[in-house]
Amino acid sequence: MKVVLILFLYSIFNSVFAQQVDCIPGVNCQSRLLRVEASTTSLNETFDSPDFLNNTIAPAVDGLLRSPSFMSNFLRDYPIEEPIGFPHNLALCEAEKEQGDPKFANVDCHNPKFCSDPEISADVKAEVCTRFPCTFLVADIADCRPSDAMGMPTLMHYEPVAVKDIDLSIVEGTQSLSGNVLRTCLNVNRMRVETGVQIEFEPIESVDFDNIGLTNLVVELNSPRQICVSATIDLNSPELITDFTVERRNGEEFVSNAMINQTSEGAEVIGLEGYPDDVIATLQTMVLPTLLRHFRPTIEAAIEDVLGTTTESWIQLGLEPFRPASGSSVDIDTASNSFISELGISNMMVGKYVDLLDCAIMKEQEVRIPGDSPCFKEDVYPFGGDSLSYREIPSIRRAIERLSEQFELYENITSESLRERLEGFRERMQEAGESRRYNSQIAPLISQISNNQTRMGLQSGIQLLGNLGADNLTPSLSVAAPDICDELNPSPHSNRSMNNCPIQAYIDLDEVNRLFDNMFESGRLCHSGRGEFQLGNPPLRRGRPNATGCLMRMEEKEDGMSCYLDGAPQLEYNSQTGGYNIILNTRGCYRGAQILGLGRIGGDLNFSISYTPDVCSNNQLCLTDGENDWTVTPGTERFALRDRSILSGMVRRTINKQLSEMLPSERELPGLPNMSPIEFEGRLDMGPGYFGACLQPRS
């Protein structure tokens, strides 16, 4: 009973962390498992609060910038679509203006395309724009008339900047969040970009110059560089981040003279066809490095733009899940190890024995086991004392035996996180000299989990519908589960609300019950088997039901108490107590003999568990006034459950005692973490088919 109740509590109140991808096409849920509404003031206070940004957004951005996907996202071509003006002598232009030269009176010296602007006179350009002898630019000098004609470069046309290799890392200790301005610095440990450039010349009367260019310009960092990025975060604005800036740390140049010399050695000259090879070679060694220095600002700006725009878009993408699109559904495919995908009774039962094996490996390797390890929690294992001592941590061999026993008892294990943890033991067990035991005993358990995932399927995701106050509506966010939702009818209590509540959350209990139905049919609510109870032929074998269905084990042993669920548990409102009941009916319950062949019990048991939610003194949600009751379906009693059995009274008292121990009259639910930006305000709204709680920004 305890695990069913805990599963129910976790399924309602725990958070779901997800990544946004396309999923579950064609499903448009009308009913909603969870609806949250917040006043605009509360929304602003919550999502732009320093605590929320520091505890939620900052770690999320930090994780994004450390992910391998971040670097791989840079490896592509970045087009420079607009031509760039060839540099002119800005200092001379400004000096002429200051000295009052009338030709420069109305000239904008900072015009980025100064030398190609037809509005600027030829006399002005002749003084401040770079010029090359015509004979330098054509193969046949006879084409230059007069012989001292000059060619003026006007525009530079760049090929796309292609990032071919990059290695980035965060400069530790530089991450900061001041107010809502995020700042962090990155090491550019390695970077190689490739591009090309063609120079366009202004034609003269006798010659239309061909473009002269350089291809295969490979710019490779000759030593690490550092950049810093900063951005203002506003989760309530459409842009999410604004004022994004990139700065070179310590003011260092990205493209050094040594890099330019290296680049010119591999560059290829185009547009000078007809020149002898020795002339081209001289150009590459003597002229190109000087010419490339004109391109340095453009190449550095391009690299800076590549680093900045890609980082900005990556952070923007990472923050999107914190702000669902207003007024439209967003499909969320929950990660394979997220809570909603891990939801399952067997997963909960087996996890503690994976913890036990973890501790056994640490003990074998003489590694200190942390005092807060799950192995040392009270009332976790049916052996040892109330909590295990270090001495009671078993050997690796014995821990694996206990884990294997659990896999036999609880067949429907689908947890991806448990599978990953077991895979992670490979290297540690190898170091402990247990490779053979890993391959023969742990590897089959990993395969069993993978097979169960394929056979049973995981919860496939959720659907979000957000509205951030558009059309004068209260900002809201609602969650649906496409596996169980109603595609035609909205939740019947979608308009319930609490007056002047800053943030209110409502759960549709019909959706919760449909979730239980889904888990019952798939087997995720069962320790083994799934679906409806069916007796075989013969109906009994050695007193135990010969049946199939959704089997629940009440004790962690083969002959311990077990029952088949007679349908999924149902959550109902209790009008007499103002709380809720969990109705759990079973078939074919059986417990083997305990002492000298005595103590067997059998029958169909029906449980009713009642609690009233309340907000505890420590501002967490609690279940109070707990009561539990159970009955035996008349005519199904067997063995010690029969009234005429001399053990009947003792057995019934034992069951009552165990239920009271497992289900105390008051229980604190897994609550909102201390870092959460919200807390319970105190008011609850309870009734048939719904449960609502009022929350507020944490003070």
User: What pLDDT was estimated at residue 23?
Assistant: 36
Neighbours of 130 (CB within 10 A): 17
Final residue in a domain of this structure, among 297, 322, 347: 322
Give dist(CA 421, CA 383) in Å, integer. Answer: 23
Mean pLDDT, residues 639-645: 84
Give yes or no for a contact between 195 and 161, defined as CB atoms under 8 angstroms apart. yes
**Would you say residue 240 lies in a domain?**
yes
User: What pLDDT was estimated at residue 335?
Assistant: 47
Give dist(CA 185, CA 230) in Å, integer. Answer: 9
Encode pLDDT of 548-561 as tens digits.
999 988 777 777 78
Q: How far is CA 580 from the centre of its chain?
A: 34
pLDDT more than 90, % of the chain: 19
Name the DSSP class of 26.
T
Mean pLDDT, residues 640-644: 84
Q: Is 446 helix (H, G, I), strand (E, B) or coil?
A: helix
Mean pLDDT, residues 429-445: 93
Does the pTM of the predicted model rise above 0.85? Answer: no
Final residue in a domain of this structure, among 322, 354, 387: 322
User: What pLDDT was estimated at residue 276?
Assistant: 63
Distances in Å between the Cα of 477 and the Cα atoms of 34, 229, 301, 464, 494 are 8, 31, 42, 7, 12
What sign for the dihedral angle of Cα 487, 489, 492, 498?
Answer: positive
**Would you say residue 131 lies in a domain?**
no
User: What pLDDT was estimated at residue 417?
Assistant: 84
**Would you say residue 178 lies in a domain?**
yes
Which range is most confident: 44-58, 172-186, 316-330, 352-366? 352-366
User: What pLDDT was estimated at residue 273?
Assistant: 59
Mean pLDDT, residues 636-661: 80
Encode pLDDT of 565-592 as tens digits.
999 999 999 999 899 999 999 999 888 7
The DSSP string of 602-616 is: EE-EEEEEEEEEEE-
Give yes or no for a contact between 448 and 380, defined as CB atoms under 8 angstroms apart. no
Going by pLDDT thresholds of 50, 70 and 90, the confidence category of residue 534 is very high
Final residue in a domain of this structure, among 267, 297, 322: 322
User: What pLDDT was estimated at residue 40?
Assistant: 54
User: What pLDDT was estimated at residue 580?
Assistant: 93
Q: Pick 481 or 271 by higher pLDDT.
A: 481
Going by pLDDT thresholds of 50, 70 and 90, the confidence category of residue 212 is confident
Q: Residue 603 is which amino acid?
A: G
Average pLDDT of the chain, as a whole number: 78
Do the bridges between strand 329-334 and strand 225-233 make them parallel or antiparallel, or are there none, so unpaired?
Answer: unpaired
**Would you say residue 89 lies in a domain?**
no
**Would you say residue 204 lies in a domain?**
yes
Question: Residue 647 has which token pair?
Answer: 């053990």
Across 427-436, 515-524, 547-556, 668-677, least confident range: 668-677
User: What pLDDT was estimated at residue 595?
Assistant: 52
**Would you say residue 293 lies in a domain?**
yes
**Would you say residue 106 lies in a domain?**
no
Which range is most confident: 376-390, 472-486, 532-546? 532-546
Do the bridges between strand 225-233 and strand 181-202 make them parallel or antiparallel, or are there none, so unpaired?
Answer: antiparallel
User: What pLDDT was estimated at residue 11?
Assistant: 39
Give dist(CA 613, CA 682) in Å, integer. Answer: 11
Neighbours of 571 (CB within 10 A): 20
The DSSP string of 206-257 is: S--PPPEEEEEEEEE-SS-EEEEEEEEE-TTSTTSEEEEEEEEGGG--SS-H
User: What pLDDT was estimated at residue 1?
Assistant: 34
Q: Whose CA is closest to 345, among 549, 547, 551, 514?
A: 551
Which range is most confident: 8-22, 34-48, 347-361, 598-612? 347-361
Do the bridges between strand 329-334 and strand 462-467 make them parallel or antiparallel, or are there none, so unpaired?
Answer: antiparallel
- Buried b or exposed e, range 61-84, using 16+ CB within 10 angstroms: beebbeeeebbebbeeebebeebb
Across 22-31, 102-111, 476-485, least confident range: 22-31
Encode pLDDT of 132-161 as tens digits.
888 777 767 777 878 788 888 888 888 888
Which range is most confident: 134-148, 226-240, 520-534, 635-649? 520-534
Longest CA span, the chain = 128
Encode pLDDT of 58-105 as tens digits.
777 777 777 777 777 778 887 877 888 888 899 999 999 999 999 999
Question: Residue 278 has which token pair?
Answer: 């020795």
User: What pLDDT was estimated at residue 435?
Assistant: 92
Give yes or no for a contact between 465 and 480, defined as CB atoms under 8 angstroms apart. yes
What residues make up the domain containing 641?
Answer: 522-697
Check pLDDT > 70 for residue 338: no
Encode pLDDT of 186-207 as tens digits.
888 888 888 888 888 888 877 7
Check pLDDT > 60 for residue 398: yes
Going by pLDDT thresholds of 50, 70 and 90, the confidence category of residue 3 is very low
Q: Is 277 helix (H, G, I), strand (E, B) or coil?
A: helix
Check pLDDT > 90 for residue 447: yes
The DSSP string of 336-382 is: TTSHHHH--HHHHHHHHHHHHHHHHHHHHTTPPPPTT-GGGSTT-SS
Mean pLDDT, residues 377-384: 72
**Would you say residue 339 lies in a domain?**
no
Give dist(CA 130, CA 124) in Å, integer. Answer: 12
User: What pLDDT was estimated at residue 585?
Assistant: 94
Q: Is 140 helix (H, G, I), strand (E, B) or coil?
A: coil
Mean pLDDT, residues 206-210: 77
Encode pLDDT of 292-315 as tens digits.
666 667 677 777 777 778 888 878
What sign for the dihedral angle of Cα 677, 679, 684, 686?
Answer: positive
Give dist(CA 505, CA 497) in Å, integer. Answer: 9
Domain count, the chain: 2
Q: Pick 84 or 660 by higher pLDDT.
A: 84
